[in-house]
Amino acid sequence: MNHEFSIDFFSHEDYEFLAVEIHFRKQRLCQLFRRKDDSIEIEFVEDLYLLDKPVRMIFPLQKFLEIIETAQKELLALTGVSGP
């Protein structure tokens, strides 16, 4: 995985499974959600928080596609559900 991208799992009340946030240089970029039919939705976020220094959101397309594919595989591999 490219060290400029990171994946964090989180729980979202509207979804049965854990979701994923993808960050680029520690700035949140998008979220992926797994639906009950195993389809994956992606949401590009207008961030709720910003880092001290602005992050220029420019990166190789191939690296972005790789991190999306990794996140998708990890979401689909989850068997447990989130929440109470």
Confidence of residue 82 (pLDDT cuts 50, 70, 90): very low
Could you write out the DSSP letters of every residue in 29-78? EEEEEE-TTS-EEEEE---S---SS-------HHHHHHHHHHHHHHHHH-
| pLDDT tens string 24-44 | 988 899 999 998 889 999 999
pTM: 0.80
